[in-house]
């Protein structure tokens, strides 16, 4: 036996650790979907449709095939016959309807739809050959204008799945609104916004001589992607492996498989060679976007500010073939206390690709009108906007008539306001200026559901004392690798350096897609459980094989100290892990655990909350807006890593500023085509647009939400920010803008 180590192991959870994968990323060692090499690798290029709707009359591929090095041009005429061609695949995030099937037939559903795939020996050759493919179309009338098609709005189909109607109305909001002393009733709009992660969607598909596929894919869920491939292509479970160790941002765009994956697999099976297919930046705008919306919010209150009625109705876009729905209006019935609430949601089918979950789907666009309307109500009441929110603070979730498992929103208001200096805010707009800049302060509330899904994790202890923990989850830049190492280290009683985490591989224990801010809650709870089982097993080995003192010791007195197990504080009472494994006849120690939501959660409403305070400066002559200061106060349960969590919130704030001032898809309605499908004309903030962002987390114990007491922070950072910016602009200028983004032309109208 060796002398025991006496230094205590520092806690890992709650400590601001650097990313454990950071060095791999900054040195270029991290491999993404289009980085993996393969022998005899080929390259694909997609040919996109140039009409919005209609039919393909003919495709001439002769010029492309005449070029040496061009191996294949796939079209609807020669694509492989799919074994499950008639079977509809219903993945974890597919909305109701018929999923888009590339090269299925001659129909064109939207501009930019893939109509052919060229595969060649090099990427440059494939893209050049794709430019030579000639497609003749028969165009039909299209509609891509939500305003023009508004009267065709219908409730989404509940029969097709993917949609749960808003909670039923309570009280009589219309009657209260009609007789109210103070009211606000207005329409607000949000535009289509597009995912633009650094890494564009792509994959590398590698078949072996037996037809088995190894697929390196940009995805937020390898398990989900594998289910898609086995279903559509009729492959067996052991014939597909999906790998995604690193994902260069996704924001919801990687929740479901997109057309590039199916095309690449078709080509790989046809050629029996590896195929790499990466979409261009322009093609990144041909799927998966936040849907545009038109929303009505009506509020009324007594003269003391007590809300008497809330009405929130929304119409958003979806495609012709699927009923995509965001949860836009439900927050209106939950955020504030009110007895008379009506919520409604409809969709308009347009000739566009199906929208998709986009960071804080529904909440990001739904909180904008709700929180601006609250500001307008405060203006009408001549009341401080924060005071109005406190007067109507909800202690229960009225949508479900349930208490909150925890809700520290009051503390967010108080601590955020104090940090920002809100008490010094003048009530009237246009009250402060410096030079030719008008200065305004605005605020808004935020909320997002705290969710948990079933997940499984495995922990393996080696002879050197190092523990490898694994689960098939993803890290889309959120810090999953690091958070899981911290959770494991705490559960094992070791330093974070003695733990590593593996993810993004379907050979690993099953995990849900990384989305909805539920990864720490779901996978983290499984990691915690697996590591605690492993530690318990190790303690029992020590008590069995460590000698008389260990055998007589209480379990809680047997602890881990580096590569040893120790018993109490006596010198010499230690046994190495290597020795214990030898005594037990084991090469390694392994435990696995699955964790799912527990029944007591059903008695509570679980969510994260925030209060966002913003300072804007508006050039009175030019209308240029600068967001110079933001304080975001967040209640998200137990914070695993304050450093990466604050980074997530700050990133959400940047996106919220982008929503408020920059982002919008611009359509040529005559062509039915998005015109600014590039990073030069699709505007979002650059470094010069972003100034001080101060993130603070309030203390919020919660023993209901999951075993760790942790809530996700991926979504909550963006919620409410656009409204706070809009409210600050009103306070600076006296000009109320209800249509995003707030560009300088709208300030001058």
The structural domains of the chain, ordered by start, are 362-367+384-451+604-749 (3.30.365.10), 453-596 (3.30.365.10)
Check residue 92 and give its pLDDT.
63
Q: At what angle do helices 259-271 and 222-233 cross, to 10 degrees?
A: 50
What is the pTM assigned to this prediction?
0.96
Question: How far apart are the C-alpha atoms of 487 and 494, rounded to whole Å?
Answer: 10
* Confidence class for position 10, pLDDT limits 50, 70, 90: low
Helix (H, G, I), strand (E, B) or coil at 648: helix
Q: Which residues pair with 204 in a beta bridge?
A: 216, 276
Check residue 86 and give its pLDDT.
47
Least confident of 90-99, 265-274, 656-665: 90-99
Question: How far apart are the C-alpha atoms of 152 and 103, rounded to whole Å?
Answer: 29
Q: What is the pLDDT of residues 590-648, one digit of tens each?
A: 999 999 999 999 999 999 999 999 999 999 999 999 999 999 999 999 999 999 999 99
Say whether pLDDT at 128 is over 80.
yes
Check residue 160 and give its pLDDT.
56
* Mean pLDDT confidence for 327-354: 97
- Residue 330 in tokens: 């439900």
Question: How far apart are the C-alpha atoms of 486 and 600, rounded to whole Å?
Answer: 27
> In whole angstroms, what separates CA 670 from the centre of its chain?
33
Q: Is 715 a catalytic residue?
A: yes
Of 677, 462, 473, the residue nearest 563 (C-alpha) = 462
Check residue 607 and give its pLDDT.
98
Check residue 571 and give its pLDDT.
52
> In whole angstroms, what separates CA 715 from the centre of its chain?
6
Length of the chain measured in residues: 749
- Spot the catalytic one: 591, 615, 663, 715: 715
Q: What is the pLDDT of residues 250-261, one digit of tens each?
A: 999 999 999 999
Question: How far apart are the C-alpha atoms of 324 and 289, rounded to whole Å?
Answer: 11
**Beta-carbon contacts of residue 329 (< 8 Å; ≥ 6 apart):** 166, 295, 312, 313, 314, 343, 344, 345, 366
Q: What is the pLDDT of residues 459-491, one digit of tens each?
A: 999 999 999 999 999 999 999 999 999 999 999
* Confidence class for position 9, pLDDT limits 50, 70, 90: low
Check residue 165 and give its pLDDT.
87
Q: What is the pLDDT of residues 659-693, one digit of tens each?
A: 999 999 999 999 999 999 999 999 999 999 999 99
* Confidence class for position 432, pLDDT limits 50, 70, 90: very high
Of 366, 374, 54, 38, the residue nearest 204 (C-alpha) = 38
Question: How far apart are the C-alpha atoms of 609 and 449, rounded to whole Å?
Answer: 9
Say whether pLDDT at 93 is over 80.
no
Say whether pLDDT at 8 is over 60.
no
């Amino acid at each position: 036996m060796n002398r025991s180590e006496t230094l205590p192991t520092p806690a890992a959870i709650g400590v601001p650790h650097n990313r454990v994968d950071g060095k791999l990323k900054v040195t270029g060692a991290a491999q993404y979907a289009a980085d993996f090499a393969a022998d005899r690798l080929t390259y694909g290029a997609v040919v996109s449709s140039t009409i919005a709707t209609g039919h393909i009359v003919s495709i001439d591929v002769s010029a492309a095939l005449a070029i040496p090095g061009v191996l294949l041009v796939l079209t609807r005429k020669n694509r492989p016959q799919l074994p499950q061609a008639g079977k509809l695949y219903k993945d974890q995030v597919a909305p109701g309807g018929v999923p888009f099937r590339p090269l299925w037939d001659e129909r064109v559903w939207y501009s930019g739809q893939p109509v052919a795939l060229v595969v060649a020996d090099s990427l440059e050759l494939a893209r050049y050959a794709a430019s030579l493919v000639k497609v003749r179309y028969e165009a039909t009338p299209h509609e891509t204008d939500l305003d023009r098609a508004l009267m065709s709005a219908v409730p989404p189909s509940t029969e097709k799945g993917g949609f749960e109607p808003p909670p039923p109305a309570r009280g009589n909001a219309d009657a209260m609104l009609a007789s109210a002393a103070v009211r606000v009733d207005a329409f607000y709009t949000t535009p289509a916004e597009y995912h633009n992660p650094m890494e564009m969607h792509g994959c590398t598909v590698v078949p072996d001589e037996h037809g088995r596929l190894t697929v390196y894919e940009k995805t937020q869920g390898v398990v989900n992607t594998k289910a898609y491939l086995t279903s559509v292509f009729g492959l067996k479970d052991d014939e597909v492996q999906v790998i995604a160790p690193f994902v260069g941002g996704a924001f919801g765009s990687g929740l479901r498989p997109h057309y590039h994956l199916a095309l690449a697999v078709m080509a790989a099976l046809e050629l029996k060679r590896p195929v790499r297919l990466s979409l261009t930046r322009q093609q990144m705008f041909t799927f998966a976007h936040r849907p545009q919306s038109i929303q009505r919010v009506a509020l009324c209150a007594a003269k003391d500010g007590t809300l008497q009625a809330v009405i929130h109705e929304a119409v958003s876009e979806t495609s012709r073939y699927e009923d995509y729905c965001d949860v836009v209006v439900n927050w209106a019935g939950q955020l504030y206390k009110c007895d008379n609430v009506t919520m409604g949601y409809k969709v308009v089918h347009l000739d566009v690709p199906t929208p998709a979950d986009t960071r804080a789907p529904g909440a990001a666009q739904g909180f904008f009108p709700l929180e601006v309307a609250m500001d307008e109500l405060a203006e009408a009441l001549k009341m401080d906007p924060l005071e109005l929110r406190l007067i109507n603070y909800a202690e229960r979730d009225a949508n479900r008539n349930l208490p909150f498992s925890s809700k520290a929103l009051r503390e967010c208001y108080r601590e955020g306001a104090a940090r920002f200096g809100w008490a010094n805010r003048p009530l009237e707009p246009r009250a402060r200026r410096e030079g030719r800049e008008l200065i305004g302060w605005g605020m808004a509330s935020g909320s997002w559901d705290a969710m948990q899904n079933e997940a499984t994790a495995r922990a393996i202890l080696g002879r050197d004392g190092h523990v490898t923990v694994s689960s098939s989850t993803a890290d889309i830049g959120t810090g999953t690798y690091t958070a899981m190492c911290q959770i494991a280290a705490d559960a094992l009683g070791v330093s974070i350096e003695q733990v590593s985490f593996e993810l993004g591989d379907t050979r690993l224990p099953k995990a849900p897609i990384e989305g909805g801010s539920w990864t720490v809650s779901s996978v983290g709870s499984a990691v915690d459980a697996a590591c605690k089982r492993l530690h318990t097993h190790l303690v029992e080995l020590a008590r069995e094989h460590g000698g008389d003192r260990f055998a007589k010791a209480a379990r809680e007195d047997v602890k881990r100290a580096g590569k040893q197990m120790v018993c109490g504080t006596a010198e010499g009472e230690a046994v190495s892990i290597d020795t214990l494994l030898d005594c037990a006849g084991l090469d390694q120690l392994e435990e696995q655990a699955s964790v799912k939501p527990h029944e007591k959660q059903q008695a509570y409403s679980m969510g994260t909350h925030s209060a966002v305070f913003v300072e804007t400066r508006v050039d009175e002559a030019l209308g240029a807006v600068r967001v110079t200061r933001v304080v975001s106060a967040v209640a998200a349960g137990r914070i695993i890593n304050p450093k990466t969590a604050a980074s997530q919130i700050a990133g959400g704030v940047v996106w919220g500023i982008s929503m408020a001032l920059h982002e919008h898809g611009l359509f040529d309605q005559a062509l039915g085509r998005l015109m600014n499908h590039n990073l030069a004309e699709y505007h979002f903030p650059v470094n010069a647009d972003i100034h001080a962002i101060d993130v603070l987390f309030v203390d919020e114990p919660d023993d209901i939400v999951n075993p760790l007491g942790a809530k996700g922070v991926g979504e909550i950072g963006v919620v409410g920010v656009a409204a706070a910016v809009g409210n600050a602009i009103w306070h600076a200028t006296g000009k109320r803008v209800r249509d995003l983004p707030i560009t300088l032309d709208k300030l001058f109208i």
